[in-house]
Amino acid sequence: MHGGERVIAFENAAYNYGGGELLSEVSLRLAPGSFHFLTGPSGSGKTTFLKLAYAELLPTAGHVTIFDREVRGLSRDEVARLRRRVGVVHQDVQFLDHLPLAANVQLPLTVSGRKSDARDLGDLLQWVGLAHLSDALPPSLSGGERQRAALARAVIMGPDVILADEPTGNVDWEMSLRLLTLLVELNRMGKTILVATHDLNLIRQAKNQVPARVLRISRRRIQLAGADL
């Protein structure tokens, strides 16, 4: 693990889409190997925060650093290089519908011109419980299968950090627990995890498994939530 004490850090950062600040004075750091949840009402800025954390958006004030690199001023190549170390599970999971699941999962490798190891891919699909569906086309997958495929795709480059936006948004409780277990396993392997979620039950459940901390967005600020969750 590179990057010293922090994987991603916000220093007095703000974001404004043009209609006033959505996030203000955000200062926090994600230490290597930490597990955080990010919660807050719908529209409070969870997705926006994640986009700042992987340099999809640049802060309109203050600073964001990823592996100690200030995001503002990075070249496109530098952003691409940093992003390989950050696996993202998007809220609205998209696949190429004409490609089988296995090809979709290894797409980040293909795009970056890296060779994929068939055994590694097989192990990864096995790990998320989708080995039997490697030839399936995305439109035939259930919500939980899509979420697990998205997680596999997010980790195929061997990132140090995983950012997941409502990874359990459209799945039942049993599948939510299964996804949580995968995230906990990744964390035990040393990966830094941040999960945006509305689901307070999921957070409570996670706290039995990992020393997760909870960040809450309230009135544009992000604060560590107390133990009352």
C-alpha 80 chain-centroid distance: 16
Q: For residue 11, give the amino acid letter.
A: E
CB of 19 to ligand ATP, least distance (A): 7
Distance CA 44, CA 139 (A): 31
CB of 88 to ligand ATP, least distance (A): 14
Pick from 142, 143, 191: nearest CA to 163: 191
- Residue 183 near residue 159, CB atoms below 8 Å: no
Residues 11-30, mask of contacts with ligand ATP (x by CB under 6 A): ------x----x--------
# chain residues binding ligand ATP, by CB under 6 A: 10
Q: What is the DSSP string of 155-168?
A: HTT--SEEEEESTT
The residue within the footprint of ligand ATP, chosen from 39, 48, 104, 187 (CB under 6 A), is 48
For residues 109 and 202, which CB has a smaller minimum distance to ligand ATP in the complex? 202
CB of 14 to ligand ATP, least distance (A): 13
Residue 46 interacting with ligand ATP (CB under 6 A): yes
Assign 46 to helix, strand or coil. Answer: helix
For residues 52 and 193, which CB has a smaller minimum distance to ligand ATP in the complex? 52
The residue range among 27-35, 42-50, 81-89, 106-114 that interacts with ligand ATP, by the rule CB under 6 A, is: 42-50
Distance CA 147, CA 127 (A): 13
Footprint on this chain of ligand ATP (rule: CB under 6 A): 17, 22, 40, 42-48
